[in-house]
C-alpha cells in the first residue's frame, strides 16, 4: 500500500502549482538568492533556473515539487505587495522576459517561419532532461549577509554567466529540415542559420555558448559546435572524408564551404578544416571571435577514448561532452590536446602588469607558467631526430649514457615453484597513476643549465648522469634507521623500464635519482642539466582532473569513502549503471595520459626529415623533461609500493605493466593478498579505493592459464599484466 501512496504523491508533485515566471524571479531576489544557489540546491544548471524564471521552460519532476515548495515558502516571507529588494541584495535582470515555451508542434511552426529569432526570442524545445551535472561542478556563490556586497562585482558575475547561459557547447542536428542545437540540461535551441558562416555568426551573437576562464589571467573558452551527419549535409560538408582527406587531416583548400568562410572574412588555423576546425577573425582588443567545430563522423572522437560517443543521439552526445566540459574543460581537440591545453588554461603564460605612470597596463610573464616562448631541452632529453642531434652519424644508436630513457614499466619474470602452487593470478591497477605522479611534482620552468660534477639535490628538477649499478635491491632502507632484506631477484629494478639492473652511468630524471638515495645508497652524478626556476606547475592540472574523475565515479556509485569490500562491490559493473558517464570516465583518464604524452610530441608527417624542427617544438609546452619527470615519479611510486608490500608480506609481483601489477594469490580477490588490519591498509603499500594513486581490481586468471600462455608462445617472461583483464592474448612480441 505504501508504494501506491508514494506513486500518488509523485503524481500530485508532478502538477505542483507554480507562480508566474516574473513572480518566481521576484521571490528569489527578495530573499537575496542567486541563480547559482537555487541551481545548486535543486541539482540543475544555472541556465535551467534562468529559463524557468523567464518562462521559456517549465520544471519537470522531481525538481518541480522542490522548486514549488521553495517558492511557496518565499511567497509567505515576501508577499506580492512587499517593497522591492535593494540593489545590494539582488541584481536586477534588465533583459526582457521571453514568451512561454511552445510545444513541440509550435516550435516546429516557429522554426519554419521566415522571422529569424534573436537570443531572447529564439524558440526552445524542452526534452526529457538527462541527469544533471552534480552541484560540485557548478560555480557557487555565498548568500547575501548583513554586509552589503559590491553590487558592481555581483552584476559583473551575473553578466559573465549570462554570456554562456546555454552551456559550453551544442550539438547541431536537423529536425524536419531545420537546424536545432542540443545543449546541456535538455535545452534545444532553434538555429536559423542556412550556411556555415551564418552558423558561426549565430553562435557568437545569439547562441550564448562558451565557458568562463579557468584562471584569472586566462581567456574564456570558445564555443564548441558538434556537427551531426545531417548538419554536415545541411551546411554543404562531406559526411565522411576520403582516404586522401583522412591522411591530410582536412578537406581541400578549394572546398566551397571554405570559400564561403573566406568571403565572409572568416579564417581557419594552419591545420585547415579538419575534424577539429577552428574558425576565427583576428581579435579586436580583448574581444575574441572564434568558434570551434567537432565533427564525429570525421573521427574527431577517437573510439579508444570516447568509446561509441560518436554514435549517440544528439541530446545524449551533448550530455557526455557537456559533463566533460564542465568538469575538465571544453574539448579543444583530442583528449591529448585537451590535456595539454588544460595546463595552459590553468597557468596562462602572461598576465596584466600593474599600472605604469600613465595608468596603462602591459602584458608580462605570469609567474609559475611556462611563458610564451619555447625553451630548448638538454641534448640527453631530445628524442631521436631532434635538431640538437643533427650532427650525430646516421643510424647512430644512443646508449643510456647519451639519452634519458624514463618510460613506464614493462617487466615480467618466471613464477617460482611456490607461486606455481597457488591457484590464481590477480591483477591490481593504480587509478590515474600518471596524474598521481604529477601531484606535487616540482618541475623546471626555464631552460636547462649544464653542470659538471654536481652535488645531487632532490629539489632541483633536471636530468642527471649517474651510475646506479651498485644499488642492491636485496637490502633497502624502508624508513629512518629501518632496513629490509628482500629477494632482489624477484623485484624489478626501479631505474629501468624493463626492470633490468643498470650496467653503468646513465641519464635519469630527478625522481629516479632521489629514490636511489631514499633506498639508502650514495649517488655521485658525473654531470647534469638542471633548472633553477621551479614550481609545481602540474598541481592545478592534477586537482582539476582528480576532482572530475572522483565526481564522475561518484555519479556511477563509486564513492571515495567506501570500505575495501564496498569498493570492490561498487566497481563491479559500474560502467553499466550509466554508460554515458562511463564514457566521460574513459575520456578523463585519456586526458591525463594524452596530456603527459603531448609534452614530448613527435613529428606528425608534414614532410619532416631527421634533424629538422617540427611543429610541436614551437610550443612552450613542448617539455620532454617534464614528461620524463612525471613518468619517473609514477614508476617510482609503483616500485615503492611493491617494496613495502614485499617487506611486509613476502609476496613479489610476477609482472608489472605501467600501472598494473600481477601477484600469485591463494584467492581470486585483491583482498586475498593485500594486507588489511582492522580495515586499514599497509602504510605506504597498495590500498583499494577510487582516489588517484589507490588501486582497483584489474582481473583474475588462473596460474594454469598464465603458464599455458607462456608455453604456447614459448615466452617464459611474457608480461601477463597485459592480458590479465580478460585473459585474451591477441599477440606476443617476445620482448622485442
Map 16-60 to HEC letters.
Answer: CCCCCHHHHHHHHHHCCCCHHHHHHHHCCCHHHHHHHHHCCCCCC
Report the alpha-carbon distance of residue 330 to residue 346 in Å, rounded.
Answer: 13
Show the cell assigned to 498.
624493463
267 plus 134 within the same structural domain: yes
Question: What pLDDT score does 91 carry?
Answer: 32
Question: What pLDDT score does 480 carry?
Answer: 83
Question: What pLDDT score does 56 carry?
Answer: 67
What is the extent of the structural domain holding 40?
1-98
φ, ψ (nearest 5 deg) of residue 246? -65, -40
Show the cell assigned to 28.
528569489
Radius of gyration of the CA atoms of the chain, in A? 29
133 plus 68 within the same structural domain: no
Bridge partners (DSSP) of residue 462 are 530
76 plus 174 within the same structural domain: no
Q: Are 192 and 207 a contacting pair, CB within 8 Å?
A: no
91 plus 71 within the same structural domain: yes
Question: What pLDDT score does 146 carry?
Answer: 31
Q: Are 618 and 582 a contacting pair, CB within 8 Å?
A: no
Bridge partners (DSSP) of residue 158 are none
Domain boundary among 314, 331, 348: 331
Would you say residue 579 lies in a domain? no
The beta strand positions in 141-206, using DSSP E, are: 169-175, 178-182, 187-191
Would you say residue 474 lies in a domain? no
The number of distinct structural domains making up the chain is 2
φ, ψ (nearest 5 deg) of residue 127? -120, 165
Q: Is residue 283 exposed (0-12), middle (13-18) or buried (19+ Cβ within 10 Å)?
A: exposed
Would you say residue 501 lies in a domain? no
Domain boundary among 331, 355, 377: 331
Show the cell assigned to 236.
554543404
Question: What pLDDT score does 93 carry?
Answer: 37
The domain that contains 12 carries what CATH number? 1.10.260
Show the cell assigned to 188.
534545444
Q: How far is CA 309 from CA 169, 320, 329, in A?
A: 15, 8, 17
Would you say residue 248 lies in a domain? yes
86 plus 200 within the same structural domain: no
36 plus 117 within the same structural domain: no
Q: Across the 736 residues of the chain, what is the mean pLDDT of every consecutive 10-residue run?
A: 56 68 85 84 80 78 85 86 41 35 35 36 40 36 33 44 91 95 93 97 95 92 97 97 94 96 95 96 80 97 97 96 97 97 96 85 92 95 95 92 97 96 98 97 97 97 97 93 94 97 97 97 97 97 97 96 96 96 98 98 88 95 98 98 96 97 98 90 94 97 96 92 92 51
167 plus 76 within the same structural domain: no
Question: What pLDDT score does 11 carry?
Answer: 55
234 plus 116 within the same structural domain: yes
Question: What pLDDT score does 84 carry?
Answer: 40
245 plus 312 within the same structural domain: yes
162 plus 308 within the same structural domain: yes
End-to-end CA distance of the chain: 68
Would you say residue 297 lies in a domain? yes
Closest-CA residue to 400 (of 470, 502, 494): 502
Residue 596: partners with Cβ closer than 8 Å, 6 or more residues away:
339, 434, 438, 627, 630, 631
Task: For residue 465, give the 3-state DSSP assignment.
Answer: strand
Would you say residue 246 lies in a domain? yes
Find how far residue 301's CA is from the centre of its chain: 14
Q: Are 384 and 610 a contacting pair, CB within 8 Å?
A: yes
Show the cell assigned to 111.
522554426
φ, ψ (nearest 5 deg) of residue 613? -75, 150
- In the DSSP assignment, the letter for residue 115 is S
Amino acid at each position: 500500500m505504501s508504494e501506491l501512496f508514494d506513486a500518488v504523491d509523485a503524481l500530485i508533485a508532478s502538477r505542483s502549482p507554480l507562480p508566474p515566471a516574473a513572480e518566481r524571479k521576484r521571490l528569489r531576489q527578495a530573499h537575496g538568492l542567486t541563480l547559482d544557489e537555487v541551481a545548486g540546491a535543486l541539482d540543475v544548471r544555472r541556465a535551467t533556473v534562468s529559463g524557468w524564471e523567464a518562462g521559456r521552460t517549465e520544471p519537470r519532476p522531481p525538481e518541480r515539487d522542490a522548486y514549488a515548495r521553495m517558492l511557496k515558502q518565499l511567497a509567505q516571507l515576501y508577499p506580492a505587495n512587499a517593497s522591492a529588494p535593494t540593489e545590494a541584495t539582488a541584481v536586477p535582470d534588465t533583459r526582457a522576459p521571453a514568451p512561454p515555451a511552445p510545444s513541440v508542434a509550435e516550435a516546429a511552426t516557429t522554426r519554419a517561419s521566415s522571422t529569424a529569432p534573436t537570443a531572447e526570442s529564439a524558440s526552445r524545445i524542452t526534452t526529457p532532461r538527462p541527469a544533471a551535472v552534480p552541484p560540485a561542478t557548478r560555480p557557487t556563490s555565498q548568500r547575501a549577509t548583513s554586509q552589503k556586497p559590491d553590487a558592481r562585482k555581483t552584476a559583473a558575475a551575473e553578466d559573465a554567466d549570462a554570456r554562456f547561459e546555454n552551456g559550453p557547447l551544442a550539438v547541431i542536428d536537423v529536425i524536419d529540415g531545420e537546424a536545432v542545437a542540443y545543449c546541456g540540461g535538455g535545452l534545444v535551441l532553434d538555429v536559423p542559420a542556412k550556411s556555415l558562416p551564418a552558423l558561426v555568426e549565430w553562435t557568437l551573437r545569439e547562441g550564448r555558448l562558451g565557458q568562463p576562464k579557468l584562471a584569472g589571467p586566462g581567456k574564456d573558452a570558445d564555443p564548441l559546435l558538434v556537427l551531426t551527419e545531417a548538419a554536415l549535409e545541411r551546411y554543404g560538408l562531406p559526411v565522411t572524408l576520403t582516404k586522401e582527406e583522412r591522411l591530410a587531416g582536412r578537406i581541400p583548400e578549394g572546398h566551397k564551404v571554405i570559400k564561403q568562410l573566406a568571403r565572409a572574412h572568416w579564417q581557419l588555423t594552419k591545420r585547415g578544416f579538419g575534424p577539429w576546425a577552428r574558425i576565427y577573425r583576428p581579435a579586436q582588443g580583448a574581444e575574441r571571435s572564434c568558434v570551434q567545430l567537432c565533427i564525429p563522423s570525421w573521427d574527431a572522437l577517437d573510439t579508444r577514448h570516447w568509446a561509441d560517443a560518436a554514435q549517440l543521439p544528439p541530446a545524449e552526445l551533448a550530455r557526455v561532452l557537456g559533463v566533460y566540459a564542465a568538469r575538465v574543460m571544453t574539448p579543444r581537440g583530442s583528449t591529448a590536446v585537451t590535456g595539454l591545453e588544460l595546463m595552459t588554461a590553468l597557468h596562462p603564460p602572461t598576465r596584466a602588469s600593474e599600472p605604469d605612470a600613465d595608468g596603462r597596463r602591459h602584458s608580462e610573464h605570469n609567474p609559475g607558467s611556462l611563458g610564451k616562448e619555447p625553451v630548448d631541452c638538454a641534448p640527453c632529453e631530445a628524442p631521436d631526430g631532434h635538431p640538437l642531434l643533427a650532427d650525430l652519424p646516421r643510424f647512430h644508436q644512443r646508449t643510456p649514457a647519451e639519452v634519458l630513457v624514463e618510460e613506464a614499466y614493462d617487466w615480467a619474470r618466471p613464477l617460482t615453484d611456490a607461486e606455481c602452487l597457488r591457484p590464481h593470478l590477480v591483477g591490481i591497477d593504480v587509478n590515474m597513476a600518471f596524474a598521481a605522479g604529477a601531484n606535487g611534482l616540482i618541475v623546471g620552468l626555464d631552460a636547462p643549465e649544464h653542470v659538471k660534477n654536481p652535488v645531487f639535490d632532490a629539489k632541483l628538477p633536471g636530468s642527471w648522469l649517474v651510475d646506479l649499478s651498485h644499488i642492491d635491491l636485496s637490502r633497502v632502507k624502508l624508513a629512518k634507521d629501518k632496513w629490509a632484506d628482500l629477494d632482489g631477484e624477484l623485484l624489478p629494478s626501479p631505474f629501468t623500464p624493463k626492470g633490468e639492473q643498470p650496467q653503468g652511468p646513465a641519464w635519469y630524471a630527478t625522481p629516479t635519482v632521489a629514490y636511489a638515495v631514499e633506498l639508502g645508497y650514495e649517488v655521485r652524478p658525473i654531470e647534469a642539466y638542471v633548472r633553477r626556476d621551479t614550481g609545481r606547475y602540474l598541481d592545478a592540472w592534477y586537482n582539476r582532473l582528480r576532482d572530475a574523475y572522483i565526481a564522475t565515479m561518484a555519479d556511477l556509485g563509486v564513492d571515495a569513502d567506501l570500505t575495501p569490500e564496498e569498493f570492490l562491490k561498487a566497481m563491479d559493473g559500474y560502467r553499466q549503471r550509466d554508460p554515458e558517464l562511463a564514457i566521460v570516465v574513459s575520456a578523463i583518464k585519456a586526458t591525463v595520459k594524452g596530456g603527459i604524452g603531448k609534452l614530448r610530441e613527435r613529428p606528425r608527417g608534414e614532410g619532416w626529415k631527421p634533424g629538422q624542427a617540427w611543429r610541436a617544438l614551437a610550443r612552450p609546452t613542448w617539455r620532454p623533461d617534464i614528461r620524463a619527470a612525471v613518468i619517473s615519479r609514477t614508476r617510482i611510486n609503483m616500485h615503492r609500493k611493491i617494496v613495502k608490500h614485499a617487506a611486509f608480506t613476502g609476496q613479489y609481483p610476477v609482472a608489472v605493466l605501467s600501472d598494473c601489477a600481477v601477484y600469485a594469490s591463494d584467492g581470486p580477490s585483491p583482498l586475498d593478498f593485500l594486507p588489511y588490519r582492522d580495515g586499514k591498509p599497509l602504510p605506504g603499500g597498495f590500498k583499494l579505493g577510487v582516489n588517484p594513486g589507490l588501486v582497483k581490481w584489474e582481473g583474475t586468471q588462473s596460474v594454469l592459464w598464465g603458464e599455458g600462455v607462456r608455453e604456447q608462445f614459448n615466452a617464459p617472461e611474457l608480461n601477463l599484466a597485459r592480458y590479465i583483464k580478460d585473459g585474451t592474448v591477441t599477440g606476443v612480441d617476445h620482448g622485442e
